[in-house]
């Protein structure tokens, strides 16, 4: 059995990278007592990714709602949570003057890129489906034409 | 013509094979006879009529009644949507909504609207909405039919 193939290659790389980074951060925190900006950022990004994936995975529950509305509401919710995390962290440590802007941009850019990729793949899927459909219909028409031709030939012979 | 009848209670369903050397009038009659088994009865204001599944563009359940839409005519059928699909899915019928089934061979084009819903434009100009819940099955079905055609070639 081939565990890694061309379909799961990049997901496997992402999982490995995530696991190694988390183990490293936790190991450093436990053995060396290190938990500074670098470690904190990694944990924050991991938790935000976890939350974003969870919220986005709920889209199937909102199939009755317009997709654009679902995408916008999910974005507003997630960016709200991200900014709330920044706000909450301000009680424990001083914030950089651009902290809110940086968090907003970090989240928005990733979300926008994801939305564009989804949008493009959606329209490419339609194009593929149209191509498949026209091939199916061409095959069916050809088949019907051949059947008709056979019958016409038989009539001519008679 | 040699005719044989076999009774076998272990069969899953009744079936008929017709072996012939070449098509002739008798074979044509037999084909038409067995083809009539695929026809279904539909009724409208003008009465009851025999319709062929391939002539149906789409089906819709309205008030728990199943209606078949041809290019111009509409007939009520004595089937449930599920029954109809079980019997005629191989004719290219696929579910696109909770109460709607379309004949794939009657779709001229798939389009997307602003809301990223799929709109199926039929050969007669009508437009049906493909529910997002059924999108995956729909795309899988057309892909499967294409693969079957490729294998047949």
* pLDDT tens, residue order, chain A (158 aa): 678 888 889 999 999 999 999 999 999 888 888 777 788 888 888 988 888 888 888 877 777 787 788 888 889 998 998 899 889 888 887 888 888 998 899 889 988 898 888 888 888 989 999 999 999 988 888 877 776 666 566 656 55
Sort out which chain B residues have CB atoms less than 8 A from A129's CB and list them. Answer: 110, 139, 142
Phi (first) and psi of residue B57, to 5 degrees? -85, -50
What is the C-alpha to C-alpha distance for residues B55 and B77, in angstroms, rounded to an integer? Answer: 14
CB pairs under 8 A between A and B: 48
Residues of B with Cβ-Cβ distance to A138 under 8 angstroms: none
Query: In this structure, what are the phi and psi dihedrals at residue B123, rounded to the nearest 5 degrees?
Result: -60, -25
Q: Both tokens of residue A41?
A: 């950022």
Spatial separation of the C-alpha atoms in residues A54 and A23, rounded to whole Å: 22
pLDDT computed for residue B99 by the predictor? 94
- Nearest Cα neighbor of A150 from B91, B23, B95 is B23
- Across the interface, whether the CB atoms of A129 and B145 are under 8 A apart is answered no
User: Which secondary-structure segment (H or E) carries A107?
Assistant: helix A99-157
Reading phi first (left if > 0) and then psi (alpha if -120 to 50, else beta), residue A145 is in: alpha
Beta-carbon count within 10 A of A124 CB = 10
pLDDT, mean of residues B8-30: 84
Question: Using alpha carbons only, how large is chain B's radius of gyration in Å?
Answer: 19
| B114 Cβ contact list (under 8 Å, min separation 6) | A68
User: In the structure encoding, which two tokens stand for residue A129, read together?
Assistant: 């489906």
Q: Specify the 3-state DSSP secondary structure of B137.
A: helix
CA dist list (Å): A10 to A7, A53, A56, A60? 8, 17, 20, 24
* Closest CA of chain A from B10, distance in Å: 35
Q: Assess: ipTM above 0.95.
A: no
* pLDDT attached to residue B145: 87
* H helix runs in B12-131, sequence order: 25-35, 81-88
Distance CA(B68)–CA(B61), nearest Å, equals 9
């Amino acid at each position: 059995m081939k565990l890694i193939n061309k379909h799961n290659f990049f997901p496997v790389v992402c999982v490995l990278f995530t696991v190694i980074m988390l183990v490293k951060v936790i190991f450093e925190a436990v053995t060396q007592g290190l938990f500074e900006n670098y470690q904190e950022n990694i944990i924050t990004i991991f938790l935000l990714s976890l939350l974003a994936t969870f919220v986005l995975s709920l889209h199937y529950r909102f199939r009755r709602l317009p997709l654009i509305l679902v995408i916008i509401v999910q974005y507003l919710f997630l960016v709200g949570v991200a900014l709330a995390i920044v706000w909450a962290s301000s009680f424990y440590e001083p914030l950089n003057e651009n902290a809110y802007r940086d968090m907003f941009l970090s989240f928005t850019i990733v979300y926008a890129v994801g939305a564009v990729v989804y949008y493009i793949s959606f329209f490419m899927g339609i194009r593929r489906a149209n191509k498949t459909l026209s091939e199916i219909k061409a095959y069916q028409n050809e088949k019907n034409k051949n059947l008709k031709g056979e019958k016409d030939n038989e009539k001519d012979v008679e | 013509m040699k005719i044989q009848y076999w009774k076998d209670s272990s069969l899953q369903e009744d079936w008929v094979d017709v072996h012939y050397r070449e098509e002739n009038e008798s074979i044509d009659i037999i084909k038409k006879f067995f083809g009539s088994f695929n026809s279904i009865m539909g009724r409208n204001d003008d009465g009851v009529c025999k319709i062929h599944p391939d002539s149906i563009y789409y089906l819709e359940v309205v008030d728990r009644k199943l209606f078949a839409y041809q290019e111009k005519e509409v007939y009520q059928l004595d089937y449930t949507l599920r029954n109809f699909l079980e019997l005629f899915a191989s004719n290219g019928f696929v579910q696109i909504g909770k109460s709607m089934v379309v004949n794939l061979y009657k779709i001229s084009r798939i389009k997307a609207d602003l809301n990223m819903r799929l709109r199926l434009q039929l050969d007669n100009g009508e437009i049906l909405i493909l529910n997002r819940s059924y999108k995956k099955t729909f795309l899988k079905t057309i892909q499967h039919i294409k693969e079957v055609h490729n294998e047949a070639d």
